[in-house]
Structure 1
Amino acid sequence: MVVIKKLAEAAVQSSDIDKALYDKFNVKRGLRNADFTGVLVGLTNIGNVVGYEKDAEGNTIPVHGRLYYRGYEITDLTRGFQAEGRHGFEEISYLLLAGKLPTKEELAEFDAIIKVEQELPFSLSKNLILSLRGRNIMNMLARTVLGLYTLDKDAEDYSPENLVKQSISLIARFPVIVAYAYFAMRHSFQRRSMVIRHPRPDLSLAANFLYMLKGDKFTALEAEILDLALVLHAEHGGGNNSTFTTRVVSSAQTDTYSSIAAALGSLKGELHGGANMKVIGMMNDIKQNVKDWKDEAEVEAYLQKLLRKEGYDHSGKIYGIGHAIYTLSDPRCVLLKEKAGALAKEAGMEDEFNLYQAVERLAPEAFYKFKGGQRKTIAANVDFYSGFVYKCIGLPEELYTPIFAIARVPGWAAHRIEEVTSSSARIIRPAYKSVTNQRVYVPMQKR
């Protein structure tokens, strides 16, 4: 172990780069410009995220957030299928893949393919999920996705027809894989019962996921809000970490399963798909340390403690508040919050929901005071309420990030197809400048 420690110390020392060099060579750290806007690295027809505008002088003007799927505003899409009393994730998946909204007949045909593809091959579920169990469902999901490669005789076929076929199959199978992986994990490591339910052909993907987890013990409102959450997480432009990962790997002309497995590795990170878990942890900390949840002065005082790195994980962050692009509001958060109140009432969690609302309302002012009067436009993002919604539904925390993956696979698939089939596609290879001095080789006996 002494050798490992010495190697680790050497690795850290040799990895350190003077931050001043980034400014000297105009390096865009994190592919961000100096004003924190994203560096433009590509073009897409799929999604668009709007959180600010630029005036004639180039100044950033905060605006209420807008999210577009194939040119359709997310609020219009959700209002549309909700007004007709139906779930929308399958329709949104079709839109992201095809670039247009389906007719009633086209959606029915799409649904029929999904119903067939939901059934996992027995060898896959037995060997890669139920037998080869793991503690982390995201890792089990990535491993199973790679296993699907071995069962696909056309895995290396990059024709548009085959890419769409593979995409639909992954959209259909992700909820089943996640549900089975959860029960395998809890049976092995929590000594609880293993329950395997086959998906029902009469249920939507969202409702089927709840059925596989809870049997018939879920409400129509729970299924409706889970469907909404899937829709809101389905796509978020090409620059988010996991989608960009999909495009980078796909640009090398590798197979669909490898590119989606790589995206899962990205999404697993707590700075990306695991962010709602940080919100849950922070809110649990607030609930334990704030005696009167209705006392806004006490709530804000504890938010100041968080900012001073005196509470929760001592990071100085209020998780779920602020976003890289959105300024005045995150439309996904707005839409999810609209339904969260009714769900909280149904679940008997209204007091906790009110605490969430108080934190959302007080956090921007807490930031303002902490910064000494320096005003910065921030608002709650979708991660702030998504974990709370899943908690109201009764879903275990181990599933929060995998649910994000279930939702995002249509967006990943659409970006992969665009990357692979576009006439302007080329392998993505940005530059890294070496800042190491050249050295002369020293023979072993002289080192």
Structure 2
Amino acid sequence: MFTSVDVTTLSNRTNCSSLSPAIPSSGDLDVRITAAMLDTGLRGVPVGTCTTSFITPEQGLHYRGYPIADLVNHTPEQLMHLVFMGSLGSPSEVDGFSQVLANRAGLSATVKMQISNLPRHIHPMSAFAAAIRFCQWEYPTGDYHKDALNLLAKAPELAATVIRRHKGCEPLSNAEAENRSMGYVERFCELLVGSEACTTQFVEAVKIFHKLHYDHGGGNLSMFVAKAVASGHSDLYGSVIAGMEALAGPLHGRANQEGLTFVQDILEKLGAAATPKQVREEVQRRFDNKEKIVGFGHAVLRCEDPRASILYDYAANHFPENPLVKMALMLRTEAPKVVCKKASNPYANVDAISGTVLAAAGFSHAEYFTILFGLSRLVGMTRQIVYERCEARDGKGVPIYRPKYVYKEG
């Protein structure tokens, strides 16, 4: 049982073979690199191993061998334990892990002051990255395990404080900030909007969003960048900052923000009484004009993203009369009929609906969606950095990343 702040057991809990038979084979890794594969962003090129998650074309995301669709009813703390420790854990183990985080939570007056001095005109993700830098200065240990837990523990207050500063809200009171008796996501929500505005509906929506974004294989851009920086023996904080800057791009973490904007634009143009035929025709018009159909298609999946399916079901059950939800549900059925003319997978991915769910639940500030994404993705990112630095290759760690580039006369 994880009953203290000792983190040495982390490195002994990565074997997930007993959790589920759904562990993919590495297959034939005798890959032949051809000229056609150059300048394609390493897409599909094997470069390493990942112990926390994988994606299959048919079932999508798996945490430690479990399909995400089988995990939706577990608590955030159970899934954090699964990703971080390698098992869903007994109630006492999960409680012990949660207590470890609670013991390490809280921000110093120095860090709070530094955040309060951040300019409000910068992008929220730049502010979030800066706040992680402040933690690097304030709480360095030089130990990847300890730094991972420290950052994960402080992240809810860190993210909430950054958003409140950026929005121009009053700083949190000491009493609010020091209350660590609630769950991980509940604490973030209350720190973000205050106890009076923190509705059950809002908390539940953020919980689902949070659980679906912990990890997504080892090769997505933010994860790859963070681990590449760590391979040069940068500390955990500096590596995560690089990963968060990668996540901030519109082709990656900011896609959920663009997904909501896409739904809003079509709703504004067609109106709440739009028919499926009108929606399909509008998508077709945009498609013909080579405009991006945000939230549809996926590089790996050959079905609707199971994370999207979970959120669509949640939205339909909890916000059936919300105009944004109605439009998103129509896009779910109509957009693939257009996108299929070009994409091998025309179905919805998680970005098609995640922003709409947050907006329907009362948090319509799309500019902060990527911080919520980053808060969740810290779970997998910190754990994967620990693996590559401390556990891979029998504890020797992954060498510094050094892919080969071929000279091209330009």
Calculate the TM-score normalised by the size of structure 2. 0.84
**Which sections of structure 1, spanning at least 5 residues, go unmatched?**
1-21, 33-37, 52-62, 82-87, 158-162, 310-314, 438-447
CA contact (8 A) 2:263 2:324 kept: no
Q: How many residues align?
A: 369
Aligned to 2:56: 50
Deviations 1:36-57 (A, max 9, x none): xx11111122111011xxxxxx
Alpha carbons of 1:175 and 1:398: their partners in 2 closer, same or farther (altered >3 Å)? farther
**Within the alignment, does 1:406 sit opposite 2:375 as a pair?**
yes
Say which of 81, 90, 112 aligns to 1:103. Answer: 90
Alignment of 1:274-285 (within 5 A): 274-285=254-265
SS in 2 for 1:431: coil
Deviation at 1:292, TM superposition (A): 5.8
Residue 29 of structure 1: SS of its match in structure 2?
Answer: coil
Q: Distance in 2 between matches of 1:291 and 1:186?
A: 29
1:68 matched residue in structure 2: 62
Q: Give the AA of the match of 1:66.
A: G
Q: 1:175 is matched with which residue: 146, 153, 156?
A: 156
Contact 1:133–1:181 (CA<8 Å) still a contact in 2? no
Q: Distance in 1 between matches of 2:70 and 2:286?
A: 37
* Distance in 2 (alpha carbons) for counterparts of 1:149 and 1:283: 38
Q: CA deviation at 1:117?
A: 2.4
State whether residues 246 and 415 of structure 1, in contact with CA within 8 Å, keep that contact through their aligned partners in structure 2.
Answer: no
Q: Deviation string for 1:10-67 (max 9, x for gaps)? A: xxxxxxxxxxxx97575151112xxxxx11111122111011xxxxxxxxxxx3x332
Q: Larger Rg: 1 or 2?
A: 1
Residue 133 (structure 1) aligns with: 119
Q: Displaced runs of 4+ in structure 1, greater than 4 A?
A: 22-26, 192-196
Report the 3-state secondary structure (helix = DSSP H, G, I; strand = E; otherwise coil) of the residue aligned with 2:177: coil
Deviations 1:193-249 (A, max 9, x none): 555541532321211122112223233232122112111100000010001111111
What are the residue-to-residue correspondences of 1:261-300 with 2, within 5 Å?
261-291=241-271, 293-300=273-280
RMSD, aligned α-carbons: 2.1
- Distance of aligned partners of 1:330 and 1:241 in 2 relative to their CA distance in 1, 3 Å threshold: same
Counterpart-to-counterpart distance in 1, 2:271 and 2:139: 56
What secondary structure sits across from 1:48 in the alignment? strand
Instruction: Indicate the percent of aligned positions where both proteins have the same amino acid.
Output: 26
The 1:415/1:117 distance shift into structure 2, 3 A limit, reads: same
Question: What residue identity is the alignment partner of 1:277?
Answer: Q
Query: Which residue is 1:209 aligned to?
Result: 188
Q: 2:389 is matched by which residue type in structure 1?
A: V
1:176 and 1:199 in contact (8 A); partners too: no
Larger CA deviation: 113-122 vs 412-421: 113-122
202 and 292 in structure 1: CA distance in 2 versus 1, 3 angstrom threshold: closer
- SS of the counterpart of 1:378? coil
What is the distance in 2 between the residues matched to 1:26 and 1:365? 30
1:417 corresponds to: 386
2: CA distance between counterparts of 1:297 and 1:26? 40
The one-letter code sitting in structure 2 at the alignment partner of 1:49 is I
Q: Which runs of 5+ in 2 are unaligned?
A: 1-32
Q: Is the 8 A contact 1:28 1:39 kept in 2?
A: no
Give yes or no for the alignment of 1:41 onto 2:39.
no
Matches of 1:291 and 1:130 in 2, distance apart?
41
1:390 is the counterpart of 2:369: no
In 2, distance between residues paired with 1:261 and 1:147?
A: 11
Shift of 1:316: 1.9
Name 2:317's counterpart in structure 1: 342
Which of these residues, 188, 193, 203, is aligned with residue 223 of structure 1?
203
When residues 164 and 95 of structure 1 are mapped into structure 2, their CA distance, relative to the original with a 3 A threshold, is farther
- For residue 167 of structure 2, the aligned residue among 169, 174, 186 is 186
CA separation in 2, counterparts of 1:153 and 1:177?
Answer: 16
Equivalent in the alignment of 2:335: 363
* Counterpart code for 1:418: Y
Partner of 1:166: 147
Residue equivalent to 1:119: 106
Equivalent in the alignment of 1:316: 291
C-alpha change, 1:166 and 1:244, in structure 2 (3 Å) is same
Distance 1:167 1:375 in 2: 38
Q: What is the aligned partner in structure 2 of residue 440 from structure 1? A: none
The answer as to 2:348 corresponding to 1:380 is yes
SS across alignment from 2:353: helix
Q: Please say if 1:431 is aligned against 2:404.
A: yes
How far the C-alpha of 1:342 sits from its partner, in A, is 3.1
Cα separation, partners in 2 of 1:307 and 1:417, compared to 1, 3 Å: same
State the AA in 1 paired with 2:349: N
